[in-house]
């Protein structure tokens, strides 16, 4: 018998959804789920018995409508509103996926995926309970003179390095001393969370396990010992120049939508440039759906310490952080909230999840004393995963350029070692190779481990439309010295257009200034050039992880730094949906093996930005922010400089006039 209260709750949820979809004039098919919608998803799943009540929600996200429907959407008309959810039950094998129709209030599909284990969960803290009950583990600690009550435990996924049954939620567990955050080196437990038992204990004698003071960062003990600089306050007395309606931002010639995804974090949608009154599409969707951080020490725990941060731990739910006004973003920033969810399906709000602000961009252009000031629009988001903090800023410029900037800060991963001085040779019980340590000493007995960061960006570029797009590689080459290059100074640009996905698997080459021209085959500017955008690489690194290794099987996207795929709505996560699972492979290498046509098509660009981090002592106990990224720059999209008609603000004109009055005419060129 259905209780009256259940009927009332269901009716209320249906009403809240219809209010959003029909009465919200700013509503758009790509808007993230609201709190009411997330609650409704959970209620529908419970009412339909799709969930058991023991399920833990990995993801509750908007299921984006088909691209064609979004592109054809007219404001004020109805649109489909569906949610995708993935949930896990420790007592079951695999993960369940479900799609919920929010307009109809029903489950429209379910799928049980065996032998996958979903993502990291708060419930995985049960590691402490499992190992504390194991007599062999307690004895191994006691052998080192360590009480079980003096440590906490942390765990990481084993991936293909595990020894448990495929599909079991297996993790490596390591003990960490309370109060000083140092791991007990050389003692690791293969632990099966599905059965709640330790499978094997790895106990290496001689490893460093002393209770040293490693000067670990503690925000509560930060001392202010330096005088601050004189105030530098960014203000806009007349207010900002952008307008926000719902999730749409309009600024100068740009129209942009954004959202915060529980898995991917910040997502940029429907980027358009208004050129002489005409809206021109640039990018349908841009995000960073996966990243991996390989560590370079050969011990078991560090070899397993290859976080797929988006696919295993998510860049939204549980890791999104409110931005600090004046620190993470300037004083003129506008902060926007994001609705995410907890593992029980309950929604919560991050108040300052996204910062939107205008910033001084230096000189836009200059000749003589005639110059124009550049102003950029920035959209910024921060996430914290374990010890690292990552900032992502999409920067839109007046000349049509899009810069993507990644900030790396936080606390580097460290381990205890016997040596107390960098001049000391590595101890025989510490990992080393021919006298070389696998990290930098940042404090006596504290070694920061060599590692790399790789960020995979998915760029669904729609240059003046979703179809007829193509990619041409540009390599600058020297004309061989001889009759055609008598002075040895001539060089040219060689253009190669890709026809298939396998052809477009490419890597960075700074020697040829390699760039990629993403263009519209049918569109030409006034000079007869293909309209397009050029992807210009920034700081880069090549992976040290060899082909055939376990990690390369999972992170096949490391094979190349540039990929092109034919658009497919299900191809979003370059290491697959569930990279934490063992013996499960999916992603870019599998998709591109189809070798689909990418010339004159709807295509997606994948760019793998990498950095090798050899830690400096100046980066301990907290790392000053390091920047990396890439640019999307107009190349033939316009026929000339689109900022030629721009004027400087009135206050700058007055400043210039004051300078002119104070200096003789010969010293300055008048505007």
DSSP letters, 507-555, are ---GGGT-EEEEEEEEEE-TTS-EEEEEEEE-S-----SPTTSHHHHH-
For residues 115 and 94, the answer to whether their CB atoms sit within 8 Å is: yes
pLDDT of amino acid 10? 43
For residues 480 and 499, the answer to whether their CB atoms sit within 8 Å is: no
How many other β-carbons are positioned within 10 Å of the β-carbon of residue 98? 22
Q: Which helix (H) or strand (E) holds 655?
A: helix 650-662
φ/ψ of residue 437, rounded to 5: -75, 165
Considering 309, 328, 430, 464, which one is annotated as catalytic?
309
Instruction: Name the segment(s) of the chain with CATH classification 2.70.98.20.
Output: 247-312+400-634
Distance CA 23, CA 19 (A): 5
Distances (CA, A) of 112 to 50, 58, 59, 98, 585: 11, 14, 15, 9, 17
Instruction: Name the segment(s) of the chain with CATH classification 3.10.450.40.
Output: 4-113, 122-211
Q: Which CATH code of 3.50.30.60, 3.10.450.40, 3.40.50.2000, 3.40.50.80 fits the domain covering 4-113?
A: 3.10.450.40
Q: Which helix (H) or strand (E) holds 192?
A: strand 183-192
> ∠ CA 98-104-108 to the nearest 5 degrees?
25
Residues 6+ apart with CB under 8 A from 503: none
Q: Which CATH code of 3.30.70.260, 2.60.120.10, 3.30.750.24, 2.70.98.20 fits the domain covering 247-312+400-634?
A: 2.70.98.20
Distance CA 571, CA 564 (A): 12
pLDDT of amino acid 90? 86
Here the tokens at position 337 are 């909230």
Strands lying side by side in the sheet with 469-478 = 334-341, 347-367, 370-385, 388-397, 402-410, 623-634, 530-537, 515-524, 469-478, 491-497
Considering 28, 90, 381, 388, which one is annotated as catalytic?
388
Burial class (CB in 10 A: 0-12, 13-18, 19+), 58: buried
Distance CA 6, CA 648 (A): 61
Of 73, 95, 84, the C-alpha closest to 27 is 73
Length of the chain: 671
How many other β-carbons are positioned within 10 Å of the β-carbon of residue 405? 17
Q: Which helix (H) or strand (E) holds 654?
A: helix 650-662
Distance CA 443, CA 453 (A): 23
Distance CA 501, CA 523 (A): 22
β-bridge partners, 492? 477
Here the tokens at position 98 are 């479900």
> ∠ CA 52-58-63 to the nearest 5 degrees?
100
- Catalytic, 295? Answer no
Collapsing DSSP to helix, strand or coil, 68 comes out as: helix
Residues 6+ apart with CB under 8 A from 631: 401, 402, 403, 404, 535, 536, 538
- Catalytic, 403? Answer no
For residues 378 and 332, the answer to whether their CB atoms sit within 8 Å is: no
Here the tokens at position 228 are 């601050």
For residues 632 and 459, the answer to whether their CB atoms sit within 8 Å is: yes
Q: What is the dihedral of CA 426, 430, 433, 439, to 10 degrees?
A: -80
pTM over 0.85: yes
Of 330, 328, 322, 333, the C-alpha closest to 231 is 330
Spans of the chain below 70 pLDDT:
1-23, 650-671
For residues 255 and 434, the answer to whether their CB atoms sit within 8 Å is: no
| Nearest-10 crossing angle of helices 4-18, 35-47 | 140
The b-or-e profile of 149-188 (16+ CB within 10 A means b, else e) is eebebbbbbbbebbebeebbbbbbbbbebeeeebbbbbbb
For residues 259 and 311, the answer to whether their CB atoms sit within 8 Å is: no
Q: Which helix (H) or strand (E) holds 15?
A: helix 4-18
We find that the CATH architecture of domain 122-211 is Roll (3.10)
pLDDT of amino acid 226? 81
Distances (CA, A) of 219 to 215, 315, 377, 392: 12, 22, 31, 23
């Amino acid at each position: 018998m259905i209780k009256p209260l259940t009927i009332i709750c269901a009716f209320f949820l249906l009403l809240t959804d219809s209010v959003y979809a029909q009465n919200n004039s700013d509503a758009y098919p790509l808007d993230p789920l609201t709190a009411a919608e997330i609650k409704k998803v959970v209620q529908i799943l419970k009412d339909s018995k799709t969930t058991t009540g023991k399920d833990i929600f990995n993801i509750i996200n908007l299921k984006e409508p088909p691209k064609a429907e979004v592109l054809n959407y007219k404001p004020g008309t109805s649109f489909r509103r569906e949610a995708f959810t993935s949930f896990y039950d420790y007592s079951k094998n695999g993960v369940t996926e479900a799609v919920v129709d929010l307009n109809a209030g029903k489950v429209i599909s379910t799928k049980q995926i065996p032998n996958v284990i979903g993502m990291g969960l708060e419930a995985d803290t049960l590691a402490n309970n499992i190992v504390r009950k194991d007599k062999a583990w307690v004895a191994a600690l006691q052998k080192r003179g360590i009480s079980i009550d003096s440590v906490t435990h942390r765990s990481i996924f084993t991936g293909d390095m595990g020894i448990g049954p495929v599909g079991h939620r297996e993790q490596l567990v390591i003990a960490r001393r309370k109060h000083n955050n140092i791991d007990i080196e050389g003692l690791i437990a293969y632990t099966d969370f599905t059965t709640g038992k330790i499978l094997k204990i790895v106990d290496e004698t001689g490893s460093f396990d002393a209770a040293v003071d490693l000067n670990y960062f503690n925000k509560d003990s930060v001392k202010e010992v330096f005088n601050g600089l004189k105030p530098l306050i960014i203000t806009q007395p007349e207010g900002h120049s952008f307008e926000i309606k719902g999730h749409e931002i309009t600024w100068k010639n740009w129209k942009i939508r954004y959202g915060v995804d529980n898995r991917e974090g910040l997502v940029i949608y429907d980027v358009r440039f208004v050129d002489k009154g005409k809206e021109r599409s640039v990018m349908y969707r841009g995000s960073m759906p996966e990243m991996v951080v390989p560590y370079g020490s050969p011990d078991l725990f560090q070899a397993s310490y290859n976080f797929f941060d988006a696919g295993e731990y998510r860049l939204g739910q549980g890791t999104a952080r409110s931005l600090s006004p004046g620190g993470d973003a300037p004083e003129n920033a506008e902060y926007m909230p994001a609705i995410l969810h907890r593992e029980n399906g309950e929604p919560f709000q991050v108040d300052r999840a996204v910062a939107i602000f205008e910033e001084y961009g230096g000189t836009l252009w200059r000749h003589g004393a005639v110059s124009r000031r550049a102003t950029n629009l920035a959209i910024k988001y921060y996430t914290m995963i374990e010890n690292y903090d990552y900032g992502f800023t999409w920067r839109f410029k007046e000349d049509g350029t899009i810069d993507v900037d990644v900030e790396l800060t936080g606390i580097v991963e460290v381990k205890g070692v016997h040596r107390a001085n960098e001049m000391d040779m590595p101890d025989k019980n510490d990992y080393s190779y021919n006298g070389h340590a696998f990290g930098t000493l940042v404090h006596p007995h504290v070694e920061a481990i060599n590692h790399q960061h790789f960020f995979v960006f998915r760029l669904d570029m729609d240059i003046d439309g979703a179809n007829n797009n193509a990619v041409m590689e540009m390599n600058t080459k020297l004309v061989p010295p001889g009759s055609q290059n008598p002075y040895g100074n001539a060089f040219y640009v060689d253009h190669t257009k890709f026809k298939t996905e396998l052809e477009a698997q490419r890597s960075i080459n700074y020697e040829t200034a390699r760039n990629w021209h993403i263009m519209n085959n049918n569109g030409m500017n006034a000079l007869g050039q293909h309209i397009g955008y050029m992807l210009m690489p920034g700081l880069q690194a090549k992976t040290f992880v060899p082909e055939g290794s376990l990690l390369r099987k999972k992170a096949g996207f490391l094979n190349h730094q540039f990929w092109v795929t034919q658009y497919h709505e299900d191809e979003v996560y370059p290491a697959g949906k569930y990279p934490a699972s063992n013996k499960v492979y999916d992603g870019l290498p599998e998709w591109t093996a189809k070798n689909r046509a990418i010339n004159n098509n709807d295509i997606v660009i994948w760019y793998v930005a990498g950095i090798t981090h050899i830690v400096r002592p100046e980066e301990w106990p907290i790392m000053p922010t390091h920047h990396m990224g890439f640019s999307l720059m107009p190349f033939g999209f316009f026929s000339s400089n689109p900022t030629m008609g721009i004027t400087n603000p009135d206050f700058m004109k007055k400043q210039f006039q004051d300078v002119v009055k104070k200096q003789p005419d010969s010293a300055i060129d008048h505007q």
